[in-house]
Structure 1
Amino acid sequence: MGENAATKNHDNHQVFDVSLGIPSKGGSECFDDDGRIKRTGTLWTASAHIITAVIGSGVLSLAWAIAQLGWIAGPAVMFLFSLVTCYTSSLLTDCYRTGDPVSGKRNYTYMDAVRSILGGYKVKACGLIQYLNLCGISVGYTIAASVSMMAIKRSNCFHESGGKNPCHMSSTPYMIMFGVTEILLSQIPDFDQIWWLSIVAAVMSFTYSGIGLGLGIAKVAATGTFKGSLTGISVGTETQAQKIWRSFQALGDIAFAYSYSIVLIEIQDTVKSPPAEAKTMKKATKLSIAITTAFYMLCGCMGYASFGDFAPGNLLTGFGFYNPFWLLDVANAAIVIHLVGAYQVFCQPIFAFIEKWATQRWAESNFITKEFKIPIPGYHPYKLNLFRLVWRTAFVILTTVISMLIPFFNDVMGIMGAFGFWPLTVYFPLEMYIQQKKILKWSTRWICLKMLSMACLLITIVAGAGSIAGVMLDLKVYKPFKTTY
């Protein structure tokens, strides 16, 4: 490909595009050593991206998950997931560069890392799983945002009627509102340009998690008792079969609460160097997971202590808390703002992948590659690309329609967590690490890593089965676009 076409591609895709014959700029003030725009990310922006991705709506289902597992297994499983995620994420950061951790070839995306280290059919398998999972997460976040928007409306309605009006409503208009907002924000071209959105979203995640925690503490203080049992919901409150399936689903919900590895490499690609990107990212990973695990433990445990066997599927929208209603409104508004940002963090890799592929396939098409500069007073001109406008809008519309068809918060969270946890958080990071570090087959370390992978595969299978069973039960009574809540 000629220099002009390569430069054009580079201009359109500053963050994720692989090298397409771009001449090296020698690591100048404006460009990195591989000729791409210089990165400006730091430990703090990377941590904000991770916290935005990790402390998602999954935190709201943790009280329900612990209720299924009980005081012993619930916190233990959560702590185990945090350790596994922290460990495998640390290994994954070493895969950002192939070969030398300082000067080796950069892998701009998760899929690039798999391609350069593992290769073969595993690249296509990784791409399929990663992008399907990202699409699923975008659906889950659309559902969660609509649930929180309905909760604001319902809490006010409930307050005004003195608890007499059941305040049933449809989630469809709220999903459409969320979708329109995401269509606008999706026109932000690249990952490195949404750092401000991640910081706002991270602040919002702490806001609503803190409110949920505070309400839980207040409820426990008011009643003077810690509810719940060592083994979770007892048989009798639900059948033996329901107990098993919901316990499996709880594993999926907890796994979903830690699912961010699928965008770790993309986040790492925003971090400036020196120091080595892996060094910064390891610190960001440990810091972020330590903070989020502390929040998860507090929110999940206090939620279970407050409600016991009757812990709602969504702590702030399940109407476990009714007052103060204005505080619940603040918490749910914070959830919506957070999910607006988190949606972008997870969707930017999909956007970049399709746009890179289209640019390579139709390099001479003006519709694909041409940009129109739109002046913005007091700021840099916005570069409008028609393909980006059409494709990203179509994607958001599609995820919004799917959300309207299956608006089941807990079950969708569980399926997404189960589907993505083993392959993306465990299997590929471990396999790449084994290959990159040339760990001998049948050595003690090799056996330990393989055993960890197999154990996580088993958890994924049972969690997926439980969540799918939950969706099947929901679909028996649900009518698309008609059911109200």
Structure 2
Amino acid sequence: MGSYVEDPPKATLSENGATEEVVIPPKINKEQLDAGALFVLKSKGSWWHCGYHLTTAIVAPALLSLPFAFGLLGWSAGVVSLVLAGLVTFYSYTLLSLVLEHHASIGKRQLRFRDMAHDILGPGWGRYFVGPLQLGICYGAVIACTLLGGQNLKYIYLVTTPNGTMQLYQFIVIFGGLTLVMAQMPSFHSLRHINLVSLLLCLAYCACTTAGAIYIGYSKDAPKRDYSVTESGVNRLFGFFNAFSIIATTYGNGIIPEIQATIAPPVTGKMFKGLLVCYSVVATTFLSVSVSGYWAFGNQSQQSVLSNFLVNNKPLLPKWFLLITNVFTLVQVSAVVLVYMQPTNVVIERAFADPKKGEFSVRNIVPRLIFRSLSIIVATTLAAMLPFFGDIMALFGAFGCIPLDFILPMIFYNVTFKPSKKSLTYWGNTFIAVISTVLALVGAVASVRQIFLDAKTYRLFANL
């Protein structure tokens, strides 16, 4: 399943009183001939690189929907949910890291989420549940980010050309063309410099978004603010769960093992340092955008708070400021697409590449170019056809991100380390897993319900 011995065994030979340490070559087996692990998940990075990858995967433009989630929850529930989800995911990702480090220390390093499920829960879990779930969630994130990239391009177009006639699907196709080129980056490790730029860009557009919301909130054009939750009864309840799903998706990752796989051995302690880098950015950006956006627009916050900066195509901020903010967002979301493409790239390489040939041989370059391009083309087509960004994000959070990020890490840790059933760790992990399961089930129902409610206003290739 893509596992390998982290440090090859050594033997000591003595001759005429001299000692020499000899490395015994590991036995070649089918696992080591997995082209997906060999070409995509190269273990060459540092903990800094890990931090860059983590930040790009988590601090993505989806966080611009947090003020909208606050509008469904209100001030108190919104802030508590945001902080609590941050603490739980940090704890959850730390547990995953510890499990991965444990298996690496006993000579079986796991490179993928499905490898963890295979080794810890059994082959069926990896092959039929975790593997397909992770692949679907990550590819869904590619579709959602492609849609968001198209929306950013359209936003820039409307700022510069208020009466323009171009449609959303056209901008999605343009953005898809950009990612079609960038998707040919050969490995996850090769994205490290791109993801460093991505980290800086997410700080930049979040600072711009926060400053813009505060400026509008104090300006003479400030909208009338209402912080009450407008829905009541069953609609209010489902709105709560829909908001929880959005927040869970915002923190969602689903590729912690693949990110840790990019770290050069020994891996001990490096993932935790990367998480500290990531969550320092998370704390700065998530709170600033959600609080300032909800403060400025209240329950009128839209699914992307940047949409509140335009009223009837009239900008509430200087055009140059809106353009800079959206360019930062546009470039960063292209990096997010590349990160979430990696599980798909692993599957493509495993199925069509020959590990006995060179990574850049014609035999491997041609299928890589063809199938990665097809993957982007399909994602772009689906994004153009189904422009329901907020609803998609909520459903992804409930159905995929919560199981991968809130439930399975607790189970993996308890099964691997077997903490005492009288211990706080065991019951804390069990409690988080059970509550998360309930939230996932109810959140999925709420998200599907919202999609059906909104479907009557949507159509294929809608110009939203």
TM-score normalised by structure 2 residue count: 0.85
Deviation at 1:407, TM superposition (A): 0.7
Match status 1:153 vs 2:157: yes
Alignment counterpart, residue 293 of structure 2, candidates 294, 299, 303: 303
Deviation at 1:410, TM superposition (A): 0.9
Match status 1:194 vs 2:184: no
CA-to-partner distance for each residue in 1:83-128, whole Å, 9 max, x for gaps?
11000100000122454x6453211112112222222322121101
The residue aligned with 1:211 is 208
Aligned identity (percent) is: 23
The residue aligned with 1:351 is 345
Matches within 5 A, 1:320-331: 320=310, 322-331=316-325
In 1, the alpha carbon distance for the partners of 2:209 and 2:125 equals: 41
CA-to-partner distance for each residue in 1:160-181, whole Å, 9 max, x for gaps?
xxxxx4x564211111112122
Q: 1:169 and 1:224, CA in 2 relative to 1: closer, same or farther beyond 3 A? A: closer
Match status 1:111 vs 2:109: no
Q: 1:357 and 1:432, CA in 2 relative to 1: closer, same or farther beyond 3 A? A: farther
Structure 2: which 5+ runs fail to align? Answer: 11-20, 33-37
CA-to-partner distance for each residue in 1:262-291, whole Å, 9 max, x for gaps?
1111111122334xx241111221331232
8 Å CA contact retained: 2:399, 2:440? yes
The residue aligned with 1:182 is 179
Q: 1:347 and 1:25, CA in 2 relative to 1: closer, same or farther beyond 3 A? A: farther
In 2, the alpha carbon distance for the partners of 1:462 and 1:22 equals: 41
- Match for 1:424: what amino acid? L
In 2, the alpha carbon distance for the partners of 1:224 and 1:341 equals: 35
Match status 1:121 vs 2:124: yes
Deviation at 1:25, TM superposition (A): 9.7
8 Å CA contact retained: 2:202, 2:328? yes
Q: 1:289 and 1:371, CA in 2 relative to 1: closer, same or farther beyond 3 A? A: closer
8 Å CA contact retained: 2:59, 2:281? no
The residue aligned with 1:265 is 257
- Match for 1:193: what amino acid? S
Deviation at 1:76, TM superposition (A): 0.5
8 Å CA contact retained: 2:2, 2:115? no
- Match for 1:310: what amino acid? Q
8 Å CA contact retained: 1:25, 1:33? yes
Alignment counterpart, residue 283 of structure 2, candidates 289, 293, 307: 293
Q: 1:284 and 1:178, CA in 2 relative to 1: closer, same or farther beyond 3 A? A: same
The residue aligned with 2:457 is 477
Deviation at 1:131, TM superposition (A): 0.5
The residue aligned with 1:233 is 229
Q: Secondary structure at the match of 2:243?
A: helix
In 2, the alpha carbon distance for the partners of 1:120 and 1:59 equals: 35
Matches within 5 A, 1:14-163: 17-19=2-4, 39-99=43-103, 102=105, 104-124=107-127, 125-158=129-162
Deviation at 1:467, TM superposition (A): 2.1
Q: 1:73 and 1:109, CA in 2 relative to 1: closer, same or farther beyond 3 A? A: same
8 Å CA contact retained: 2:210, 2:289? yes
Q: 1:22 and 1:421, CA in 2 relative to 1: closer, same or farther beyond 3 A? A: closer
The residue aligned with 1:396 is 376
Q: 1:471 and 1:180, CA in 2 relative to 1: closer, same or farther beyond 3 A? A: same
CA-to-partner distance for each residue in 1:191-219, whole Å, 9 max, x for gaps?
11111111122221111111101112222
Deviation at 1:387, TM superposition (A): 1.3
8 Å CA contact retained: 1:70, 1:229? no
Q: 1:444 and 1:372, CA in 2 relative to 1: closer, same or farther beyond 3 A? A: closer
Structure 1: which 5+ runs fail to align? Answer: 1-15, 159-164, 375-382
8 Å CA contact retained: 1:96, 1:278? no
Matches within 5 A, 1:351-430: 351-359=345-353, 385-430=365-410
Deviation at 1:253, TM superposition (A): 1.1
- Match for 1:286: what amino acid? L
- Match for 1:189: what amino acid? P
In 2, the alpha carbon distance for the partners of 1:225 and 1:147 equals: 24
Q: 1:441 and 1:354, CA in 2 relative to 1: closer, same or farther beyond 3 A? A: farther
8 Å CA contact retained: 2:293, 2:301? yes
In 2, the alpha carbon distance for the partners of 1:418 and 1:114 equals: 20
TM-score normalised by structure 1 residue count: 0.82
Q: 1:226 and 1:435, CA in 2 relative to 1: closer, same or farther beyond 3 A? A: farther
8 Å CA contact retained: 1:39, 1:272? yes
In 2, the alpha carbon distance for the partners of 1:22 and 1:103 equals: 9
CA-to-partner distance for each residue in 1:375-427, whole Å, 9 max, x for gaps?
xxxxxxxx961111111111111111111121111111111122222210022
- Match for 1:266: what amino acid? E
- Match for 1:90: what amino acid? T
Q: How many residues align?
A: 435
- Match for 1:272: what amino acid? A
- 425-434 vs 143-152, which deviates more? 425-434
The residue aligned with 2:240 is 247
The residue aligned with 2:249 is 256
Deviation at 1:73, TM superposition (A): 0.3
8 Å CA contact retained: 2:410, 2:429? yes
- Match for 2:264: what amino acid? K
8 Å CA contact retained: 1:67, 1:311? yes
In 2, the alpha carbon distance for the partners of 1:421 and 1:283 equals: 23
- Match for 1:257: what amino acid? T
Match status 1:170 vs 2:180: no
Deviation at 1:333, TM superposition (A): 1.2
C-alpha RMSD over aligned residues: 3.0
In 1, the alpha carbon distance for the partners of 2:451 and 2:69 equals: 16
- Match for 2:126: what amino acid? V
In 2, the alpha carbon distance for the partners of 1:479 and 1:291 equals: 37
In 2, the alpha carbon distance for the partners of 1:115 and 1:98 equals: 15
The residue aligned with 2:332 is 338
Deviation at 1:343, TM superposition (A): 0.7
In 2, the alpha carbon distance for the partners of 1:461 and 1:412 equals: 16
